[in-house]
Structure formats: structure tokens, C-alpha cells
Amino acid sequence: MNIGITDRNTDIVDRNADIANRDADIVDKSKGVENDVLKVEHLSVSFTQYGRGLRRRTLHAVEDLNLSVRAGEIVAVAGSSGSGKSLLAHAVMGILPYNANMDGTVYYDGEILTKERAKRLRGREIVLVPQSVSYLDPLMKIGPQVTKGKNDAATREKSRRVLAGYGLSEDVEEKYPFQLSGGMIRRVLIATAVMETPKLVIADEPTPGLHPEAAKRVMGHFREIADTGAGVLLITHDLELALSAADRITVLYGGRTVGEAAAADFLCEEKLEHPYMKALCRSMPKNWNWDGYKLCDSGEILEYMRKEYGR
Amino acid sequence: MTQKTGKLKFIGKQAVRMAVLLFLASVFAFALLTVSPVDPLQTNVGQTALGSMSPEQIEKLKAYWGAGVPPVKRYLSWAAAFIRGDMGISLLYRRPVAAVIAEKLANSALLLFSAWLISGALGFLMGILAGKRRGGLADRIVTGVSLVIAGTPAFWIGMVFLMIFAVQLKLFPIGLSVPIGVAADEVTLADRLYHAVLPAAALSVTGISQIALHTREKMIEVMESDYVLFARARGESETAVILRHGLRNILLPAMTLQLSSVSEIIGGSVLIEQVFSYPGLGQAAVTAGLGADVPLLLGITVITAAIVFLGNMTANILYGVVDPRIREGAMRG
């Protein structure tokens, strides 16, 4: 037998084995995914920008981001501003701006979430709770915004019930967004989410501008939603809030996943693996000690991250 | 402050503003006429006729045209009469200025109003189409067309329309507001409309670009806003987004802009009416200006300035009535 041919045959066998392995992988994954409402794998979001003249450049906003959310669980995604947190939400829902390119795989309920599927599910099973009053139409009254303009008795009854559940009286429906306080707006935004029966709630910075008491109350609302069996993805830059509200925390840096840990692990530096997460843990006011020396290495860690993550 | 005194104060303020505007406009128009090199006698009577006249006759004509009277005195005597409600006698038409303006304005009204309406509606639609998707095919076409129109003088568009639709295709008459050789009482409404189509179309085209570009800008802003993003995230279709959020948020600025663009339509009508020999207010203004017919020109200036002012004022009031942020804010304050 010719040696070359044998080689090629083994090659083919190898490749077949590879394919078989990959198939097994996929099967495995779908098993693992079973419990996950949302699983994001190797997500990248990049923008094509026109620089000076006609030169095009690609800006990577999110790179190789991984995370998962199980049913009944709150997973916090924490990261500094500019770490691609909001883009993650928009990518999952398929509402990225037109000049954005997305790569990677998003599984929802065990199946790949294609753009078409996302379009079908968003606003029904997958809902977004945005961050501020600017997400409400400034010239439309609250009532029709909550009901999406549906005027049948059942929808109106439901919106009445939902708003009342958040302590918002009937006359709020007749108000315009600019007439409500920040806290009321936040509750209206959460109310829009539970107008449906969501399986996945993506909350994009739901608390800034609220005092700690109100923020805690808002977090309580998300816990209630999670307790109904929905997965909640909480996007925030407030690590302390994330610790108090979430079950697990995924830390992002420069659009990439640094690591993931149970919320409880953040109370104990030794349980964390990545130096950035250790540093975050140390930076928490609770973990400060009086001589303050542990704070001093923040410069070092940032330098390290810049080298590792390239930004 | 009670609602009633507030309203009175508003009306008083607007009245003062209007008075100041009309005063300045008339002074400016008068000053331009005074420094213009047009000699009323040379222009309106002619060199040959003047040569054959006796000095007494020429003196009489000079007095008729007001030549030799100091400008300030002439202006003041006009203004004093105007305040009493007397707009004077047109020197060229030899009829009361008020009557001339009424007749010409009636002729122009159809032209002005239809052009204003058509350019507004068309520009608005074009703006929505373009702004719906920034950089899309519709956007590039609308922006391109608007910029070309914005850079084209109104009279040139009028001439091109005449060449294509009147001369070559023979679809419309080449000018005037009524058919030639028909008795005035036999002219039908259909005749008038038929003659108004081409100038109205030309005037509409010149008004489109501004409203289209502004609506496009506003539409882009709305489509890239957070609340449209949220509407999409909540599963609202593109059509629902445009109808429910887009229109609601761009209609008000568009209406305001259109109301304040009355001045441009009137300005354009001066040129268009000249091109189409359309006997309207614009043409009368040109005649009065070239013939040094001071009372008529000042009358036309004041009336058109008042129309423009009313358009702007309506826009202001409309904003307060329609926009809840201003309306409710005013109620609270």
C-alpha cells in the first residue's frame, strides 16, 4: 500500500473523528444548555467606522464574551463603562445599530437564537428593562406606552393591575414621562417588562440615580420576577448592588469576560482566581482595611489589564 | 398671575412685536426705493414725452410722483395716512392701494396656498422616507434631490417647467392666470386652475427642499433615539415604530417649520409670477418697485410682512398648544 494514501486515509479518519467529537460537543452543550435560559458563547460585536477619507476601520466593542443565565436566577454582568455591557443586551435582542457586526452564538432556551427568532421573541419572552426616561416616548402618555397602544379591555386591565403592583396609581397612565420622578419612571419601565410573561429579563443599568433604598426596592422587583421562573440578566457597573442582588456575577473588562463567580465568593478574595476580580473584591468598601495598603495596587492591576486585554 | 391677564399680556406683546416689525419693514422698503436710481418720471412717462411737455406740465407730474419732496416728509405723510387706515392711491394703477392689493392677493392666494400645502406635504413625506434609514437608497435620492433644488433659483425652475411642460409637451399654458381672448365674466374656475397648475408646481418644488431636509434630520434623530430602540426591543414592528413614535415626534417641528417658511413661498412667488406673467401680488411688487410706485410697494411690503408674522406667530402658539411638555409646564408655572 502506498504510504501517501494511508496518510491521507488517516487524515480523513482523523477529520471524521473531529467531526464526531464536535457533534458530541454540540450534544453535550445542548444538554448543558437545557437549564440555561440564555447562553452566550464567544460573542463579539464590532463596528465599521469610516476614518479620515474613505479608510475603514473596525472597532471591536465586545470580544469573546461568554456567560449563561439559568431560569429563576439573577446573573449580574458587571463592568466599567465602555466595557460593552449595553451592547451585550442589544446583541441578544437583535437590536444592534445597523453598522454593527455580531459574531458568536447565543442560545435561548437551548436553541440558537437567530435574528429572526429574536425578532419573534423580543417583547414577548425576552424583555428589556432600559435604564432611563429617554427610553420612553416623550410625547406619549404612560398608559399607551405600557400597553403598546393596545386598547382592549383585557390589556388595559392588566396594565392597571401591573402598575398598581408597583405602587403606581391610575392617574400615572394619563401622565407624560417628563411629569414623573426618576423612581416612578424606573417602576414604569419594569412594569412594561411584566406586561408580558417573560422568560428572560435583561435589565440594563436599572438603578443609577436612585438612592440605595429605592435601588434595593427595584432589585426586590427583579427578584420577584426571577422567582416566577424567569432568568434575569442584570447589567450594571455597581458591583456592590450586583453582590447584594445577584446569584452569580460575570465580570467584563474591555468587552471581554474576565471571569465568573458566585456572588458569595466576592466576599472572600481567596476564592477568586483572576487578579482583576481579586482587585475588585479588595476595592469594595466592605473589604477595605484601615491601613489601606491593599488599595494601592490599583495602578498595577490596570496596567496588567491593559497589557492582557489590549485596551 | 391669572390665566386672563397672562393671555392679555401675550396678545399685547405680540401686537407690539408686529408693530415694530411692520414699521421696520416699511422703513427699509422706503429707504431702498429712495436710494434706487429709478427716476419715476423717466421710467413712467418716458424721455420723448417729457421732451415735448411744457415746464408747467412737468412740474405737475413731479408733484404727482412726489419728486423733490424730502424723503422723511414723504415717509411720515405715508405713515400718518396708513395708521388712519388709508393706504393711499397707487400711482401706476391709479386705484386705491387696498383695492389693488386685494385683487392681486386674491389671484396669488390660490398659488401661494397650494404651493405651501403641496411643498409641505411632499417635503414631509420625502423627509420621512429619507430619515427612516440613514444612508439608504431613499435617503441618498431625497438628499440629493433636495440639495439640487435648494441650490437652484426659483425662476430657473419656472423656466425649465415652462420649456418642458408648456413649450415642448404643450400640456399647460405658457403664462397668465386666464385664457387670452376670453371675456372676464366668461372665465371659469377650471380655466383659473388650469393656468395655476404650472406656477404652483414650480413654486412647490422650490419649497420642498427645506422641509424635506429638516424632516429627514429629525426623523434620523427619532429613529436613533433610545425610545425607538426600546420600542423595537418590545417587538413593535418598523411600521408601528414609524407611525406611533416617528410621526408623533416629527410632526410638530415640521408644522412649525412649514408655518415659518411662509416667507420663502412669498419670496419665491415674486420670481415665479414674473416668469409666468401671473398677475399676482409678486408681480405687482416687481411692477411697483421698478416703477417707483411708493404707496403700492409699501402697502405690499406691509401686508406680506404681516402674513409672514402671522405664520410665525401661529407656529409659536401651536407649539404651546400641542407639545405637552410646554403646555403642562405652562400650566404648572
- Average pLDDT over chain B reads 84
Q: How is residue A192 written as a grid cell?
A: 412594561
What would the mean pLDDT of A279-298 be, rounded to a whole number? 62
What is the Cα A55 distance to its own chain's centre? 33
From CA A278, how far away is CA A297, in angstroms rounded?
Answer: 11
What would the mean pLDDT of A188-201 be, rounded to a whole number? 88
Other C-beta atoms closer than 10 Å to the C-beta of B273 total 29
Tell me the CATH architecture of domain B101-332: Orthogonal Bundle (1.10)
What contacts B269, CB < 8 A, 6 or more positions away? B108, B111, B112, B115, B203, B280, B281, B282
Give whole-number Cα distances, B39 to B65, B115, B328, in Å.
Answer: 10, 35, 58
Q: Which residue has the cell 416616548?
A: A137
H or E element: which one contains B271? helix B262-275
Q: Which residue has the cell 392681486?
A: B104
Amino acid at A238: D
| Residues B242-270 pLDDT 10s | 988 999 899 888 988 888 888 888 888 88
A133-137, B58-62, B189-193: least confident range:
B58-62
Q: Quick one: pLDDT at residue A232?
A: 92
The verdict on B244 touching A (C-beta cutoff 8 Å) is yes
Q: Which residue has the cell 401686537?
A: B15
A86, A137, A155, best to mutate vs chain B, most B CBs in 10 Å: A137
The verdict on B226 touching A (C-beta cutoff 8 Å) is yes
Which chain B residue lies closest to A193 (C-alpha atoms)? B234
* Cβ-defined contact of A140 to B240 (cutoff 8 Å): no
The verdict on B332 touching A (C-beta cutoff 8 Å) is no
From CA B81, how far away is CA B75, in angstroms rounded?
Answer: 10
Segments making up each domain of chain B, as ranges: 19-83, 101-332
Which residues on chain B are in Cβ contact (under 8 Å) with A150? none
Say whether A137 sits in a helix, a strand or coil: coil
* Cβ-defined contact of A178 to B325 (cutoff 8 Å): yes
Say whether A101 sits in a helix, a strand or coil: strand
Distance from CA of B223 to the nearest CA of A (A): 10
| Residues B122-131 pLDDT 10s | 999 999 999 9
Burial of B121: CB neighbours in 10 Å, binned 0-12, 13-18, 19+: middle
Which residues on chain A are in Cβ contact (under 8 Å) with B227? 134-138
Residues paired with A46 in a beta bridge: A60, A101
The verdict on A95 touching B (C-beta cutoff 8 Å) is yes
In percent, the amount of chain A with pLDDT more than 70 equals 78
The secondary structure of A58-117, three-state, reads EEEEEEEEEEEEECCCEEEEECCCCCCHHHHHHHHHCCCCCCEEEEEEEEECCEECCHHH
B227, B242, B323, best to mutate vs chain A, most A CBs in 10 Å: B227
The verdict on B327 touching A (C-beta cutoff 8 Å) is no
The verdict on B221 touching A (C-beta cutoff 8 Å) is no
Distance from CA of A308 to the nearest CA of B (A): 34
Other C-beta atoms closer than 10 Å to the C-beta of A165 total 14
| Residues B39-72 pLDDT 10s | 777 777 766 777 777 777 777 777 777 767 777 8
Instruction: Give me the interface pTM, i.e. the ipTM.
Output: 0.78
H or E element: which one contains B248? helix B247-260
The verdict on B245 touching A (C-beta cutoff 8 Å) is yes
A86-90, B71-75, B152-156, B320-324: least confident range:
B320-324
What contacts B295, CB < 8 A, 6 or more positions away? B78, B87, B88, B89, B90, B91, B97
- Is the model's pLDDT at B326 over the cut of 80? no
* Cβ-defined contact of B233 to A128 (cutoff 8 Å): yes
Give whole-number Cα distances, B277 to B170, B176, B203, B286, in Å.
Answer: 17, 5, 14, 11
* Cβ-defined contact of A127 to B229 (cutoff 8 Å): no
* Cβ-defined contact of A138 to B328 (cutoff 8 Å): no
Q: Quick one: pLDDT at residue A150?
A: 83
Amino acid at A141: K
* A93: nearest CB among B233, B245, B324: B233
Q: Quick one: pLDDT at residue A202?
A: 92
Give B96's DSSP letter. B
| Residues A35-50 pLDDT 10s | 788 888 888 888 887 7
Confidence of residue A78 (pLDDT cuts 50, 70, 90): confident
Question: Which positions 153-182 of A are in contact with B (Cβ < 8 Å)?
Answer: 176, 178-179
Say whether A251 sits in a helix, a strand or coil: strand
Confidence of residue A256 (pLDDT cuts 50, 70, 90): confident
Q: Quick one: pLDDT at residue B144?
A: 93
Q: Quick one: pLDDT at residue B333?
A: 38
- Is the model's pLDDT at A1 over the cut of 70? no
From CA B264, how far away is CA A170, in angstroms rounded?
Answer: 47
Burial of B123: CB neighbours in 10 Å, binned 0-12, 13-18, 19+: buried
* Pick from A229, A129, A196: nearest CA to B233: A129
Question: Contact at 8 Å (CB) between A96 and B224?
Answer: no
Q: Which residue has the cell 396669488?
A: B108
* B230: nearest CB among A119, A130, A176: A130
What contacts B88, CB < 8 A, 6 or more positions away? B78, B81, B82, B96, B97, B295, B299
Which residues on chain B are in Cβ contact (under 8 Å) with A178? 324-325
Task: For chains A and B, count residue pairs whose Cβ atoms are closer than 8 Å.
Answer: 66
Give B262's DSSP letter. H
